[in-house]
């Protein structure tokens, strides 16, 4: 039997609305690993947050991988080593932060183990609670970072028009340098140009010498679209955001609260239905 590689988003996909994994999803993931298939977490979260979840889910065994920062870093948790990393120069981080501050948008970036930001706002506390991260508020993030970061995150929970315009302005100002896309209605992911989950899918298949025809991906949000299109089978969740399902080859009958990922694994990885 040919080994498959399965790329799975976390929030709204593998995890339910309480940020937990169901028994059905966990069982399907474990069975796929036992049969020799590769399991890859593919998330917009930071690497430190993704690894916390990977450990909780038992996804640090041989054959498990983590795509973090929307493809900005690819990590092998079994061997504890980074396989791929793309970053944003610190001078650009400063400029993006200044642009966000002028519009009163929450803006933050990521060190190895913590969120870095320059303002103490409710959106920050909500974010770190959801992603199980620590944070540090500093006068200037660029001055305290030991290395260039993989991602900047802008958060605006009320003024949707403001963050949509912010995205448009960033894409125009940093054309060919930065890419921006939403992971939900409030979170704008800002990454180096060319960094996407889809490109990470292609890189992983090439790195592991797995034919793209053996790849399956599952997601629910706009930042998953490129991944759904890159994998041979792109499975959109029943609970996917508007406009995402059209990019999938398959739409689950069950949502993220009712074993939707198990449905995908059983059908396309284990091929039991």
Rounded Cα distance between 7 and 9, Å, is 7
Sign of the Cα torsion 152, 157, 162, 165 reads positive
Residue 2: its pLDDT value, please?
79
Q: How confident is the model at residue 273 (pLDDT cuts 50, 70, 90)?
A: low
- Minimal CA–CA distance to 218: which of 204, 196, 197? 197
Instruction: In whole angstroms, give the CA distance from residue 245 to residue 225.
Output: 9
Q: Which of 192, 246, 189 is nearest to 219 (CA)?
A: 246
pLDDT in tens, 120-173: 999 999 999 988 899 999 999 999 999 999 999 999 999 999 999 999 999 999
Task: Please compute Rg for the chain using Cα positions.
Answer: 18
Is the pLDDT at 241 greater than 90? The verdict is yes
> What is the per-residue pLDDT across 14-52, written as a single tens digit (0 to 9) for each?
999 999 999 999 999 999 999 999 999 999 999 999 999
- ∠ CA 40-41-46, rounded to 5°: 135
pLDDT 10s digits, 195-239: 999 999 999 999 999 999 999 999 999 999 999 999 999 999 999
What count of other Cβ atoms lies within 10 Å of the Cβ of residue 98? 11
Q: Identify whether the C-beta of residue 135 lies closer than 8 Å to the C-beta of residue 128.
A: yes
């Amino acid at each position: 039997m040919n080994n498959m590689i399965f790329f799975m988003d976390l929030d709204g996909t593998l995890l339910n609305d309480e940020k937990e994994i169901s028994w059905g999803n966990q069982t399907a993931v474990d069975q796929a690993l036992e049969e020799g298939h590769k399991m890859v977490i593919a998330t917009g979260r930071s690497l430190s947050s993704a690894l916390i979840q990977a450990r909780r889910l038992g996804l640090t065994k041989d054959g498990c991988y983590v795509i973090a920062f929307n493809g900005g870093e690819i990590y092998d948790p079994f061997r504890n080593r980074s396989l791929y990393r793309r970053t944003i120069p610190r001078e650009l981080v400063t400029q993006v932060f200044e642009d966000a501050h002028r519009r009163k948008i929450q803006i933050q970036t990521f060190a190895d183990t913590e969120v870095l930001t320059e303002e103490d706002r409710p959106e920050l506390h909500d974010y770190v609670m959801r992603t199980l991260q620590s944070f540090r508020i500093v006068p200037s993030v660029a001055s305290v970072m030991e290395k260039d970061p993989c991602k900047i995150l802008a958060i605006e929970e009320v003024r949707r028009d403001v963050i949509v315009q912010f995205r448009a302005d960033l894409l125009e100002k940093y054309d060919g340098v930065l890419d921006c896309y939403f992971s939900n209605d409030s979170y704008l992911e800002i990454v180096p140009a060319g960094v996407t989950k889809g490109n990470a899918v292609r890189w992983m298949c090439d790195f592991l010498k797995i034919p793209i025809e053996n790849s399956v991906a599952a997601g629910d949000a706009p930042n998953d679209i490129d991944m759904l299109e890159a994998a041979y089978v792109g499975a959109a969740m029943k609970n996917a955001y508007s406009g995402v399902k059209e990019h999938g080859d398959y739409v689950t009958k069950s949502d993220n609260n009712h074993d939707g990922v198990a449905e995908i694994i059983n059908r396309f990885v284990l091929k039991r239905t």
